[in-house]
Chain A
Amino acid sequence: MADDRLIDDEALSRSLSHLRQDANERELGAALERVIAATRLLFSATGAGLMMIDDTSMLRFVAATDETGRLLEVRQEEVGHGPCVDALAFDRVTYVTDLAGDDRWPASVTELSEVGVRALLGVPVHAEGIAVGALNVYRDHPTEWSDSEVRALEAYSTLIESMLRSAFMAHERGEVVQQLQHALDSRVVIERGVGVLMGRHGIDAVEAFNRLRHDARSSGRKVADVAAEILAQIPGNPR
Chain B
Amino acid sequence: MSLAVERWFGALSRTLGTVDVSDRDLEKRLDELVGVAIQVLDVSGAGLMLLDPESHLRLIGASDDAARMLESSQLDAGAGPGLLSTRTREVVAVSDLNGDGRWPQIASAVAPFGIRSVLSAPLWLGGRPVGNLNLFDSRPRAWTASDCERIGAFAEVAGSMLLLALRAHDQALIAGRLRDQLQAANGAGC
Q: Which residues of A contact B (CB under 8 A)?
A: 24, 27-28, 30-31, 34-35, 37-38, 41-42, 148, 151-152, 155-156, 158-159, 162-163, 165-167, 169-170, 173-174, 176-177, 179-181, 183-184, 187, 190-191, 194, 204-206, 208-210, 213, 223
Does B109 reach chain A (CB closer than 8 Å)?
A: no
- CA of A35 to CA of B164, assembled, Å: 13
B2 contacts chain A at the CB level, 8 A cutoff: yes
Contact A176 B161 (CB under 8 A): no
Cα A213 to Cα B8 in complex, Å, equals 11
Chain A residues, CB < 8 A from B170: 170
B32→A158 contact, CB < 8 A: yes
21 contacts between A and B (CB under 8 A): A34-B157, A35-B157, A38-B157, A42-B150, A156-B39, A159-B36, A159-B157, A166-B168, A167-B168, A169-B171, A173-B19, A176-B171, A177-B175, A180-B179, A183-B9, A184-B181, A184-B182, A184-B185, A205-B1, A209-B8, A223-B8
User: B2 to A180, Cβ gap below 8 A?
Assistant: no
Say yes or no: B5 contacts A184, CB within 8 Å.
Answer: no
Decide: A179 and B16 in contact? CB cutoff 8 A: yes
Tell me whether A170 and B168 are in contact in the complex, defined as CB-CB below 8 angstroms, given that A41-B150, A194-B5 are known contacts: yes
Known contacts: A148-B42, A204-B2. The answer to whether A187 contacts B182 by CB under 8 A is: yes
B35 CB within 8 Å of chain A: yes
How many contacts A-B (CB < 8 Å)? 136
Bound Cα distance A28, B25 (Å): 17
Q: Which residues of chain B have a CB within 8 Å of any CB of chain A?
A: 1-5, 8-9, 12-13, 16, 18-19, 25, 29, 32-33, 35-36, 39-42, 149-150, 153-154, 156-158, 160-161, 163-165, 167-168, 170-172, 174-175, 178-179, 181-182, 185, 190
- The winner among B5, B8, B185 for most chain A CB atoms within 10 A is B5
Check if B178 sits within 8 Å of A181, measured CB to CB.
Answer: yes
Looking at B12, B33, B171, which has the most chain A CB atoms within 10 Å of its CB?
B171
Are B175 and A206 touching (Cβ within 8 A)? no
Given A169-B25, A187-B9, A187-B182, CB of A38 within 8 Å of CB of B153 = yes
Min CB gap A153→B, angstroms: 8
